[in-house]
Amino acid sequence: MGASDAGEVRSTCPYCGVGCGVRISHAAGHITAVAGDETHPANFGKLCSKGLALPKTLSRSSRLLQPQVRASRGEPRVPVSWDVALDHIADRFAGSIERHGPDSVAFYISGQLLTEDYYVFNKLAKGLIGTNNVDTNSRLCMSSAVAGYKATLGADAPPACYEDLDHAACLFIAGSNMAFAHPVLYRRIEEARRKRPDLKTIVVDPRRTDTAAEADLHLAIAPGTDVALFNAMLHVLLAEKRVDRGYIEAHTEGFEPLERELSACTPEWAAGVCEISADDIRLAARWFAEGPTLSLYCQGLNQSTSGTDKNATLVNLHLATGQIGRPGAGPFSLTGQPNAMGGREVGGMANLLSAHRDLSNAAHREEVAKLWGVKSVPDKRGKTAVELFEALNEGTVRCVWIACTNPAQSMPDQALVRAALARAELVVLQDCYADIETARFADVLLPAATWGEKEGTVTNSERRISRVRAAVAPPGEARADWEIACDFAHRLGHQLGRDGERLFPYTSAEEVFAEHCETTRGRDLDITGLSYAVIEERGPQQWPFPEGAAEGLARLYTEGRFPTASGRARFHVAGYTAPAEVPTELFPLRLTTGRLRDQWHGMTRTGRAASLHDHEPEPRVTMHPEDLATRGVEDGALVRVRGPRGTLTLRARSSDEVRRGDLFIPMHWGGRFLAGGGVNALTISRYDPHSFQPELKHAIAEVEGVVLP
Ligand code: SF4
């Protein structure tokens, strides 16, 4: 692509899982404007403030332009060639593998990588090296939704689609501030409400977010008590004979034990646990049952030590009322990242295999080994995100390769993560920017191409696969992520005496995608009918899209058959369990975290656009006015937020949007902006035992005013 090139290419926004289509204008090697793609079925031309500001965030001043390596800790990194950098990493990885085995190395990748990047990293770890130590920041985002779907419906497949917003009579939004986190989808809800004033919205959220403030019914539950609420709602439906016995008998199993569990979950009991009124629980249950009801949910359910139970007990409500597989009805998890779905599809996590195969299934491991042409795929589950950093800290994992994510800000319990990165024998960071927190710990920096500079695909929340296209060439020596991983695989293959060239023969992202499609043949997400050419010709498509299909499926389970051994969906029996930490005398407040309207994740991108700081110019802790008053602190004063793992200093914001006893701190600001590090200096690394997703939404804390000298 020459510097004089000018024109427009269609691509996909790199932020949230709505997956909006964009038109990128470029001239003289630079992106000059971004507009919504009117033809894209996710957004029909609309973009939110973050998508519209994309050109302002593409600063090249902090871009990493050349690989850098340091010979030892304490020495500065020096610019080197790609050959020197990748040979150095291959030497160190091979040495560690030979001395300590394949599980002594690990990859920590990202839901912002494209499907093709994810595919290559997964194959590199599991196929070439022989370790399942490849996990991703999607572990912090979606893994409880995955476990919830598998426990109930038998497969990790969101059954609904965006069009269902236009057919639903009730929207049940749980643990999601869609107005900020999925704005274009929320605009669609606002339009639906204008057209259909009888459309009911219920929002379950401890905070009165912008989404909750506009709801017909806001259930401001105590943080972490969702399971008690969902169980009590089903108790009401049973007591009032509002369940669909015909659907339950024909299409599900396991309802009797659930009925027994629910007998004690009265609305009065749940009202005490959730700290809301029993009448509101009854009202929510009745609206839900009238339907069709579409549930939309995100991190409030997922980022919890009982995240799988929260997801699965919400699915119970849909199964018990037969509200699934028909227009306007179904459980619908929203993805926070642009390609958390694509990463799951290629099996790019420590407990998954390609095309939704299970690592614990010997036949599935054999299938993948055969597809890849390797002897075997290891059976031992790899280290999931928190476990990976714990293992680095213990010294059992020695070398880590981090791609397109910033764990020194985004992982919970930052003290532990930073100690782990400092202890590691080798930290490789592959990223487009050199000024993120994790770069401080990197022994090797590899310059990656970023959005607008590379080719590939992403899958959005409704299973729709869209193309991401290059509009300009990457600066300096930056390269596409999949290409860097392939080049490394060839070199490591030589060191280990394995044929890296045969396993990684790709010359384009399109070739990687074609191989990925082939691995899905006969699976629930079969996309053997897709190719770059098909997407080019027919536009973004939902999966499944098997060979010969004319289009993908908008909704799943329309026939009432589920991908379980019996073909029936399974009810999930779970009682309420409290979050990992309960308030104490020393730390009497409950901290929750979340997103703001104009920032995204750790602000690596959005933090570079001045206009995106206007909405919330600085990080603040939101507290109830009475909690501030009892501590003698005024609105806007500087406070210290102390927790068992760290302390943060920031300004207080007084608002009754939060309940008494609760605190809210946005997730976006890290150590570059906030003394003490970001909010993850305070969060806890305890995780759900099924999904391994950490409890980023709940920690204990105390607040005190800062006395200035
Ligand atoms: Fe991008 Fe999400 Fe905004 Fe769409 S809604 S423009 S995908 S951030």
CB 185 within 8 A of CB 334: yes
What pLDDT is stored for residue 707 in this prediction?
78
Instruction: Note the pLDDT tens digit of each residue in 572-591.
Output: 999 999 999 999 999 999 99
- Cα dihedral across residues 339, 344, 346, 351: positive or negative: positive
Per-residue pLDDT, averaged over 402-429, amounts to: 96
638-661: pLDDT as tens digits: 999 999 999 999 999 999 999 999
Whether 184 lines ligand 1, by a CB cut-off of 6 Å, is yes
Give the model's confidence band at 675: pLDDT under 50 very low, under 70 low, under 90 confident, else very high: low
Which of 34, 43, 599 is the pocket-test mutation for ligand 1 (most atoms within 8 Å of CB)? 43
Ligand 1 center to 133 CA (angstroms): 31
The tokens for 306 are 């009982």
Cα dist. 515→21, 367, 500 in Å? Answer: 25, 14, 16
Which atom of ligand 1 is least distant from the CA of 15? 8
Q: Evaluate whether 534 touches 513 at the Cβ level (below 8 Å).
A: no
Whether 20 lines ligand 1, by a CB cut-off of 6 Å, is yes
Q: From the CA of 185, how far away is ligand 1's center (Å)?
A: 9
Q: Which of 50, 112, 177, 599 to mutate to test the pocket of ligand 1 (most atoms within 8 A of CB)?
A: 50
Say if residue 292 is preceded by a cis peptide, omega within 30 of 0.
yes
How many distinct helices (H) and strands (E) make up the chain? 24, 28
Per residue in 611-621, pLDDT (tens digit) is 999 999 999 99
From the CA of 579, how far away is ligand 1's center (Å)?
Answer: 31
Q: Which residue has tokens 């920096």?
A: 445
- Residue 22 CA: nearest ligand 1 atom is 6
Distance between CA atoms of residues 303 and 144, nearest Å: 7
CB of 15 shorter than 6 A to ligand 1: yes
Task: Give me 320's structure tokens.
Answer: 């018990």
Least confident residue range of 5-19, 60-74, 623-637, 672-686: 672-686
- What confidence category does residue 674 fall into, taking pLDDT thresholds of 50, 70 and 90? confident
List of residues 6+ apart from 362 with CB closer than 8 A: 379
Cα R_g (the chain), whole angstroms: 24
> For residue 3, what pLDDT is reported?
40
Q: Which residue's CA is minimally distant from atom 4 of ligand 1?
A: 20
Ordered domains of the chain (ranges, CATH): 6-57 (3.30.200.210), 68-141+341-459+468-504 (3.40.50.740), 143-333 (3.40.228.10), 589-705 (2.40.40.20)
pLDDT digits (tens, 9 = 90+) for 238-274: 999 999 999 999 999 999 999 999 999 999 999 999 9
- Whether 438 contacts 108, CB under 8 Å: no
Q: Residue 372's pLDDT band (boundaries 50, 70, 90)?
A: very high
DSSP 506: -
CA of 129 to the centre of ligand 1 (A): 36
How far away, in angstroms, is 206 Cα from ligand 1 center? 24
Q: How far is the CA of 13 from the centre of ligand 1 (A)?
A: 6
pLDDT grade for 60, boundaries at 50, 70 and 90: confident
Helix residue ranges, H only, 424-508: 481-496, 500-503
54 in ligand 1 pocket by Cβ < 6 Å? no
Q: Which of 40, 112, 180, 184 maximizes ligand 1 atoms within 8 Å of its Cβ, making it the mutation to test the pocket?
A: 184
48 lines ligand 1 (CB under 6 A): yes
Q: What is the pLDDT of residues 445-466, one digit of tens each?
A: 999 999 999 999 999 999 999 9
Q: Which residue has the higher pLDDT, 399 or 336?
A: 399
| Pocket of ligand 1 contains residue 13 by CB under 6 Å | yes
Location of structure tokens 């973050």: 50
Question: What percentage of the chain exceeds 90 in pLDDT?
Answer: 94
Q: Let me know: does 680 contact 410? Beta carbons within 8 Å.
A: yes
In whole angstroms, give the CA distance from residue 455 to residue 536: 13
For residue 318, pLDDT over 80 is answered with: yes
Closest ligand 1 atom to 52 CA? 6
Q: What is the pTM of this model?
A: 0.97
Local confidence band at 671 (pLDDT 50, 70, 90 cut-offs): confident
Q: Is the CB of 51 under 6 A from ligand 1?
A: yes
Tell me how far apart the alpha carbons of residues 252 and 244 are, in angstroms, rounded to a whole number. 11
**What tens digit of pLDDT does each residue of 91-104 get?**
999 999 999 999 99
Length of the chain: 709
| Alpha-carbon span 384 to 139, nearest angstrom | 7
CA of 16 to the centre of ligand 1 (A): 5
Give the atom of ligand 1 at the shortest distance from the alpha carbon of 16: 2
Q: Is 517 left (phi over 0), alpha (psi -120 to 50) or beta?
A: alpha
Sign of CA dihedral 670, 674, 675, 680: negative
How much of the chain exceeds pLDDT 70, in percent?
A: 99
Compute CA distances 585 → 684, 701, 702, whole Å: 18, 10, 9
256 CA to centre of ligand 1 in angstroms: 42
| Mutation test residue for ligand 1: of 182, 451, 615, the one with most atoms within 8 Å of CB | 182
* Nearest protein CA to atom 2 of ligand 1, as residue: 16
Task: Look at residue 169 in the predicted model and tell me its pLDDT.
Answer: 98
Average pLDDT for residues 187-192, to the nearest whole number?
A: 97
Q: Is the CB of 529 under 6 A from ligand 1?
A: no
Ligand 1 site, residue 18, Cβ cutoff 6 A: yes
- Residue of 707 and 624 predicted with greater confidence: 624
| Per-residue confidence (pLDDT) for residue 1, from 0 to 100 | 45
Mean pLDDT value of segment 144-152: 98
Q: How far is the CA of 42 from the centre of ligand 1 (A)?
A: 10
| Gap from CA of 648 to ligand 1 centroid (Å) | 30
Q: Which amino acid makes up residue 526? A: D
| Tens digits of residue pLDDT in 591-617 | 999 999 999 998 888 988 999 999 999
* CB of 19 sitting under 6 A from ligand 1: yes
For ligand 1, the distance from its centroid to the CA atom of residue 684, given in whole angstroms, is 29
d(C-alpha 152, C-alpha 249), whole Å: 15
User: Is the CB–ligand 1 distance for residue 183 below 6 Å?
Assistant: yes
User: What is the overall mean pLDDT for the chain?
Assistant: 96
**Closest CA to ligand 1's atom 3:** 48
Residues 429, 407: Cα–Cα separation, whole Å? 11
Q: Which atom of ligand 1 is nearest to the CA of 42?
A: 4
Sequence-distant (≥ 6) Cβ neighbours of residue 659 within 8 angstroms = 206, 207, 220, 222, 275, 624
| Residue 182 CA, closest ligand 1 atom number | 5
Tell me the pairing of strands 293-297 and 330-333.
parallel
Give the pLDDT confidence of 131-145 residue by residue, as tens digits: 999 999 999 999 999
